[in-house]
Every structure is written in structure tokens, then in C-alpha cells.
Amino acid sequence: MSQVLQIGSHVTGFEAPDILFMKLVGDVSNEEVKVINQAHLDYGREVKQLFYLIDLSELENLAPHVRKEASEVVKALPLRGTAIYGAPLKAKVLAKLMLTAASMFRGTGKNFNPVEFHDTEADARAWIDKRRAQA
């Protein structure tokens, strides 16, 4: 079962049993990140663990206030891994900054949220499957 939410030019949603997927296109506004974050918090209430599957192939920018807002939600979610695909170098740097900062407060072991970059969605999903087996 999949739930999909369109926020401006961005898409996010939940794919049972435990994947939060997201495609960010262009710039992400503060208003858009608030809607995305609330959706992720809502999805996260129903499950014991989550994996991010993120398409950043068309991301232009994440302003500092947007990264800060998003990282607060990352800290609150039961994330066990983040698979990012299609990201150009700038998007990789922005994502790594935000997710690494949020993960510093989570520690290691069961609560660890490793961030992995992949070329394709299929590779990202395969990594999530392996990570799920370990979590």
C-alpha cells in the first residue's frame, strides 16, 4: 500500500511496510518543508522503523533554514537508513550535511541511520532491503 502527497513540485509518501519516499524538485520553501515534515511525522507514528528513499536528481537548493527544519524531524523519526539516488554533487553535499548532523544525536546500533548514495532507484531499494534485514 502506498500513500502519495504532492507539495508544490515535490512528492512524498509512505510505502508499506516502512519506506518514506520523497522526490525534491528545484528549491524547497520553508512552507513546503513544514508540510513534508508533518506528513513524515504522521507516517512515522504508525511504524517501529522507517527507511528514507530519496530522489534528489532535480533538487536545486535546500536553504539553511529548510535544512534545519528538516533535520529536526529526522531526529524524531525511527529511521534505520537513508538511500538517496540520482543526486548531483551539490545535492549530495546538502543531504549529507543535513542528515549527518541529525544522525549525530542518534548514536550507533539499532538507532543508527546510515546515509548511502546510489545511482538508481533499484540500487537504493536493494540497499534498503539489505539494511532492513540487519535492523
Model confidence, pTM: 0.90
Taking a C-beta distance cutoff of 8 angstroms, is the pair 20, 6 a contact? no
The string of pLDDT tens digits covering residues 28-54 is: 999 999 999 999 999 999 899 999 999
Dihedral of alpha carbons 56, 133, 112, 51, sign: positive
What percentage of the chain reaches a pLDDT higher than 70? Answer: 90
Q: What percent of the chain has pLDDT over 90?
A: 63
Looking at residue 67, what is its pLDDT? 85
pLDDT of residue 72: 86
The pLDDT value recorded for residue 104 is: 60
Predicted confidence at residue 103, as pLDDT, reads 61
Query: Hey, what CATH topology would domain 2-134 get?
Result: Transcription Regulator spoIIAA (3.30.750)
Q: How far apart are the C-alpha atoms of 104 and 45, rounded to whole Å?
A: 22
